[in-house]
Structure 1
C-alpha cells in the first residue's frame, strides 16, 4: 500500500479550544466524523478508544489535516460570532436509521438563532409521535455544535437535555441570540 492510500484511510484528530471549552474533532477521509465536548485528556482518550473500535482504525493526531484545520477555523469563527453555518464535509457513519434521518433534518432545516421542539422535529421526518426518539437521537449525535442539537428544546419552553451539559447548551443558545447571556 503506498503512503497516499494509507493517508486516505486514516482517522485523524485534534483538540481545539473554544468558547465552551476544549472540543475533540475527528475526521475520516469522508469528512468530520466526531465532535466531543469537554475534551480533557481522560475524555479524549476514551473518545479515541471508542472511535478506534467503531471505525476499525486507530485515530492519528493530525491538526494540520485539511478537514480538521477547516473545522477548527469554522468553529473559531462561529464562537467569535462571525459564522452562522458550517460548510464542512460530514461523515455520518457513526449513526444510522432514524437517528441519522433526524440529525440530517436538523442540520439542514434548523438555522442559526432558531429552535425547534422535539415533537416538531419528529413531525418533520414523518414520525409525529416520536418526540422521545428524537431526544434519543440528539443524545447520540456524534457531531454536536456542527449538527446543532443544542437548538432542540422542549415544547413547554424548557431547555431540554444536552450531552454537553445544560450550561454548555445555554451558552450556545445565548451565542446564537436565543437566550440572554448567562449572568455568571
Structure 2
C-alpha cells in the first residue's frame, strides 16, 4: 500500500456512506488515497472542489471493502493518505503484515515495530488508526486472548474476526 506523507495544506476530500454487514461506514478520500473510515454514517464537511480522482479512490475503497465482506478479498491494494507520527505509521503498517483470519497480541505487534516494550503504545496507535479494516487493527488482541479494545466497538471487532475465520474455513474446505 502506498502512503502519502503528511502535508501542511488541507486536503480536498470527498466522502461516501456505505452499508456493510457491520453497519454503515463513512469513507473519506482525497486525490492521494483513502484518508479515513468512520464507523457509522457521518456527515463530513464537503470541500468546494471535488476531484474525480478522489471519487475514484472512494469507488475503489468501496469495491474492495465489499469484496472483503463477501470473503473474496484478503488483502487491500488501496492508496492511503493518512498522516500520523513515525511511530503510528510503523504500528499501522505492521498491521498489514498480519495474515487474514489470524490474530497477534499487542506484545507481538510491538516486536514487529522493533519496540518490544511498547505494547501499550502500539495499542494507542491502533486506536488512532484512521483506516481500520484496511489496516486490520481488529486482528490484534491482548496476550491473554481477550479482545482488548477497538475504535468501532468490541462487537464490531468480534464480527470482523468471525467473518475472517468463517471465510478462512470455507476457503480451506474448498481447497
1:12–1:60 contact (8 Å) kept in structure 2: yes
Cα distance between partner residues in 1 of 2:130 and 2:82: 8
Dislocated runs of 4+, deviation >6 Å = none
3-state DSSP of counterpart to 1:84: coil
**Which has the higher relative contact order, 1 or 2, with Cα contacts under 8 A spaced 6 or more apart?**
2
2:101–2:165 contact (8 Å) kept in structure 1: yes
Q: What is the CA distance between 1:105 and its match in structure 2?
A: 1.3
Partner of 2:89: 100
The C-alpha deviation readout for 1:79-133, integer Å capped at 9, x for no partner, is 111111111111122x2221111001112x1121111110111111110001100
1:78 aligns with 2:65: no
Give unmatched runs, 5+ long, in structure 2. Answer: 1-10, 167-175
Partner of 1:16: 18
Cα distance between partner residues in 1 of 2:69 and 2:49: 26
1:12–1:59 contact (8 Å) kept in structure 2: no
Q: TM-score, normalised by structure 2?
A: 0.82
3-state DSSP of counterpart to 1:176: helix
Cα distance, 1:58–1:136 mapped onto 2, change above 3 Å: farther
3-state DSSP of counterpart to 1:104: helix
Q: TM-score, normalised by structure 1?
A: 0.78
1:174 aligns with 2:162: yes
Equivalences for residues 12-161 of structure 1 within 5 A = 12-39=14-41, 44-45=42-43, 48=44, 65-93=55-83, 95-107=84-96, 109-161=97-149
Give unmatched runs, 5+ long, in structure 1. Answer: 1-8, 179-184
Cα distance, 1:21–1:174 mapped onto 2, change above 3 Å: same
Compute the RMSD of aligned alpha carbons.
2.3
Q: How many residues align structurally?
A: 156
Q: What is the CA distance between 1:17 and its match in structure 2?
A: 0.6
